[in-house]
Amino acid sequence: MLNSRQIVRASYNKIASEYEATRKHDSEDVQLLRKLLERLSRNSTVLDAGSGSGYPVTQFLALHFQVTAIDFALEQIRLAKDRVRGVEFVCADMKPGGLALLCTGAGDLPRDKSRYHGVPMFWSHFDRETNLRMIRDTGLRILWSKTIVDPTNPTSAHLFVFAQKRE
Ligand SMILES: C[S@@+](CC[C@H](N)C(=O)[O-])C[C@H]1O[C@@H](n2cnc3c(N)ncnc32)[C@H](O)[C@@H]1O
């Protein structure tokens, strides 16, 4: 028996063209994309998650931005590659359970300007507990965290956090 993810993927593979025929370039949801133009500069990097056949959303985004588009239905990606140029298409499952190894600052440092390897540098980061809370608030589950001395600068340290997207 197929699980829910397999049903969605198999069904979008089957109905890719039919679904696309129901999409309109001027429907209300597509008009909403114009809001991005007010906030993002031209050629900003945008992820189109669940991009479908690329019409009309990826196509609109590609006119203004650098787009990476991801969809787990191969037929959708195949159509999209035909429809839209200049986009990086990825056929993959955005499933829960994905892992991230994050490197953050380890201490409260609102702003610090100093010389680093002979050049001016700027640092700004939160303390360990604030970083962990913000990571949890994004919906990631923290598997472990560890503070490690910066091998390039032994007077400072980084917090490494191994986290997983919740199921
Ligand atoms: C409702 S369609 C939207 C397509 C397009 N964005 C649009 O506006 O017409 C949803 C798309 O998300 C894809 N999708 C659903 N779950 C996914 C997952 N876990 N990983 C990758 N793609 C997924 C489906 O294959 C489908 O093409």
Q: How far is the CA of 20 from the centre of ligand 1 (A)?
A: 12
Q: What is the pLDDT of residues 46-63, one digit of tens each?
A: 999 999 999 999 999 999
- Report the nearest-CA residue for atom 10 of ligand 1: 50
Measure the CA–CA gap between 7 and 14, rounded to whole angstroms: 11
Question: Is the Cβ atom of 10 under 6 angstroms away from ligand 1?
Answer: no
Instruction: Kindly give the residue spans of alpha helices, DSSP state H, lying in the chain.
Output: 4-21, 28-31, 34-39, 57-64, 74-83, 128-137
Measure the CA–CA gap between 64 and 137, rounded to whole angstroms: 31
| Mean of pLDDT over the chain | 95
**Banded pLDDT at 154 (limits 50, 70, 90):** confident
Residues in the chain: 167
Q: Is the pLDDT of residue 75 over 90?
A: yes
Domain with CATH 3.40.50.150 in the chain: 4-91
Question: Is the Cβ atom of 73 under 6 angstroms away from ligand 1?
Answer: yes
Question: Is the Cβ atom of 72 under 6 angstroms away from ligand 1?
Answer: yes
Number of H helices, E strands in the chain: 6, 8
Percent of the chain with pLDDT over 90: 90
Q: What is the pLDDT of residues 92-112, one digit of tens each?
A: 999 889 999 999 999 999 999
Q: What is the pLDDT of residues 107-146, one digit of tens each?
A: 999 999 999 889 999 999 999 999 999 999 999 999 999 9
Give pLDDT, residue 30: 94
Widest pairwise Cα distance in the chain: 62
More confident residue, 105 or 167: 105
Measure the CA–CA gap between 14 and 76, rounded to whole angstroms: 9
Fold of the CATH domain 4-91: Rossmann fold (3.40.50)
What is residue 125's DSSP assignment?
E
Give pLDDT, residue 158: 96
Element (H, E) at 102: strand 99-105
In 3D space, the residue among 33, 40, 94 whose CA is nearest the CA of residue 59 turns out to be: 33
Closest ligand 1 atom to 94 CA = 20
Q: Which of 12, 19, 36, 60 to mutate to test the pocket of ligand 1 (most atoms within 8 A of CB)?
A: 12
**SS3 of residue 115 by DSSP:** strand
In 3D space, the residue among 142, 145, 108, 140 whose CA is nearest the CA of residue 124 turns out to be: 108
